[in-house]
């Protein structure tokens, strides 16, 4: 019998995890999603935030530790400025006082709030803290070496924003496992480790202070080489840490620096690019693919068309890339219109799943 869990704090970036959670691990089942008040998610389906097909799982914005429908709280760090370490500790202690257990997920041990560490001393059997393995930042077997990976690497990245990259990563991982393959899966989200120890996150390197970008590239390279040797995967799936290129002169959007660093560490063999609906046009994709080959060392091999629409007026006003999510039927219409004229195959992983996408890449491989 699966252990029932509640997830906190739920937000839009966790939707892919929730969507694939039940089929990608067998130990736990999600019975409650708790979000923070003020996000506008309370009482709505988990997929509402991204305008995706409903999952049948409602979000609650009032935390209920005595709710008998769940036994374990999965607590994680997410990029929400309105939640701080004291609030995480308060939620944890409230859960422990209700007689339930807490599993906390973070990027690395040094990021774990001191308030939570204090609670682990008071409740040694009530809290489990899970971070990425420290081996990659210490003297691993490939420490000090820069080498080429022997396994094919598929990079999943977003063109102007990280649109649906997490979704495509998990959908492809699930699809490849069904086909009997063993993918190594590496994400930018620490909560991917809720799926089990075979899922990884590189934030403990990307967010590390006190080292240069060149040193981060070397650490990423040795970290992934160590994973390759330990897991002997058939293929390596990696999520890009940021958008893969500059958006425009008004909103540079990070310039794709971290994605460039990751590509220097891994030299991807294939690139699946998530592109907003309005930019999914054949001629544009061909030209941008050539540009990205110079930046990342890989052409675009497949495109996932996202239901994201960039809010140009907001970009001009705030100098930040902002977007809304349109109906997925418009994505299907765009794919049908552009498929014949596009040299690069177009897919909608949200609606159709990743089977056709994986098949196209495996045939090419």
| pLDDT tens sequence across 311-326 | 766 666 776 777 788 9
Of the candidates 307, 308, 310, 299, the residue with the CA atom closest to the CA atom of residue 273:
299
What pLDDT does 136 receive? 44
What pLDDT does 118 receive? 93
What pLDDT does 247 receive? 64
pLDDT band at 243, cuts 50/70/90?
confident
pLDDT tops 60 at residue 7: yes
Q: What percent of the chain has pLDDT over 90?
A: 71
What pLDDT does 135 receive? 43
CATH top class, domain 3-131? alpha beta
pLDDT tops 50 at residue 146: yes
Q: How far is CA 326 from CA 16, 323, 338, in A?
A: 17, 10, 18
pLDDT tops 50 at residue 233: yes
Which has the higher per-residue pLDDT, 360 or 161? 360
**Annotated domain spans of the chain:** 3-131, 137-364
Q: Which CATH architecture has domain 137-364?
A: 3-Layer(aba) Sandwich (3.40)
Topology alike, domains 3-131 and 137-364: yes
The residue-averaged pLDDT of 236-251 equals 80
For the chain, strand residue ranges (E) read 3-8, 28-34, 59-60, 72-76, 101-105, 127-130, 153-158, 183-187, 199-201, 235-239, 270-276, 302-306, 308-310, 323-325, 346-347
pLDDT tops 70 at residue 251: no
pLDDT band at 347, cuts 50/70/90?
very high
pLDDT band at 14, cuts 50/70/90?
very high
**At 88, which helix (H) or strand (E)?**
helix 85-97
Q: Which of 140-144, 258-262, 293-297, 347-351 has the lowest mean pLDDT?
A: 140-144
Structure letter (DSSP) for residue 75: E
pLDDT tops 60 at residue 134: no
pTM for the full model?
A: 0.92
Average model confidence (pLDDT) across the chain: 89
Peptide bond into 304 cis (omega under 30): no
3-class secondary structure, 260: helix
pLDDT band at 294, cuts 50/70/90?
confident
Q: Are strands 308-310 and 323-325 parallel, antiparallel or unpaired?
A: antiparallel
Cβ distance 330 to 277 under 8 Å? yes
Long-range contacts of range 283-289, CB-CB < 8 Å, 24 or more positions apart?
283/341, 285/342, 285/343, 285/344, 286/342, 286/343, 286/344, 288/159, 289/344
What pLDDT does 139 receive? 44
Pairwise CA distance, residues 73 & 76, whole Å: 10
pLDDT tops 80 at residue 161: no
Which has the higher per-residue pLDDT, 253 or 361? 361
Q: How far is CA 269 from CA 151, 238, 245, 266, 328, in A?
A: 9, 11, 18, 9, 29
Cβ distance 192 to 199 under 8 Å? yes
Pairwise CA distance, residues 299 & 291, whole Å: 8
pLDDT band at 111, cuts 50/70/90?
confident
What pLDDT does 255 receive? 76
pLDDT tops 80 at residue 287: yes
């Amino acid at each position: 019998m699966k252990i029932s869990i509640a997830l906190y704090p739920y937000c839009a970036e966790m939707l892919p995890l929730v969507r694939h959670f039940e089929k990608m691990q067998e130990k736990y089942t999600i019975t409650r999603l708790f979000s923070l008040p003020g996000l506008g998610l309370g009482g709505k389906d988990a997929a509402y935030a991204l305008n995706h097909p409903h999952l049948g799982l409602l979000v609650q914005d009032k935390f209920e530790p005595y709710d008998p429908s769940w036994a374990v709280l999965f607590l994680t760090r997410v990029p929400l400025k309105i939640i701080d370490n004291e609030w995480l500790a308060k939620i944890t202690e409230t859960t422990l006082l209700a007689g339930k257990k807490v599993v906390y997920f973070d990027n690395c041990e040094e990021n774990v709030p001191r308030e939570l560490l204090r609670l682990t001393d008071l409740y040694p059997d009530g809290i489990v803290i899970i971070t990425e393995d420290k081996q990659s930042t210490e003297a691993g077997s490939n420490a000090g070496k820069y080498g080429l990976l022997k396994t094919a690497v598929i990079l999943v990245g977003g063109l102007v924003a990280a649109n649906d990259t997490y979704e495509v990563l998990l959908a492809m991982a699930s699809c490849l496992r069904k086909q009997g393959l063993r993918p190594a899966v590496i994400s930018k989200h620490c909560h991917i480790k809720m799926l089990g120890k075979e899922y990884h996150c590189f934030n403990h390197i990307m967010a590390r202070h006190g080292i240069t970008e060149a040193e981060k590239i070397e650490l990423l390279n040795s970290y992934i080489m160590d994973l390759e040797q330990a897991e002997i995967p058939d293929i390596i799936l990696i999520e890009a840490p940021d958008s893969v290129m500059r958006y425009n002169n008004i909103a540079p959007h990070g310039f794709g620096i971290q994605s460039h660093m990751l590509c220097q560490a891994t030299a991807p063999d294939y690139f699946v690019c998530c592109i907003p609906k309005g930019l999914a046009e054949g001629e544009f994709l061909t030209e941008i693919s050539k540009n990205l080959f110079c930046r990342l060392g890989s052409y675009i091999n497949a495109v996932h068309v996202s239901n994201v629409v960039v809010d140009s007026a907001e970009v001009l006003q705030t100098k930040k890339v902002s977007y809304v999510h349109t109906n997925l039927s418009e994505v299907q219409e765009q794919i049908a219109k552009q498929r014949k004229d596009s040299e690069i195959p177009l897919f909608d992983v949200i609606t159709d799943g990743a089977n056709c996408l994986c098949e196209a890449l495996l045939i090419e491989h």
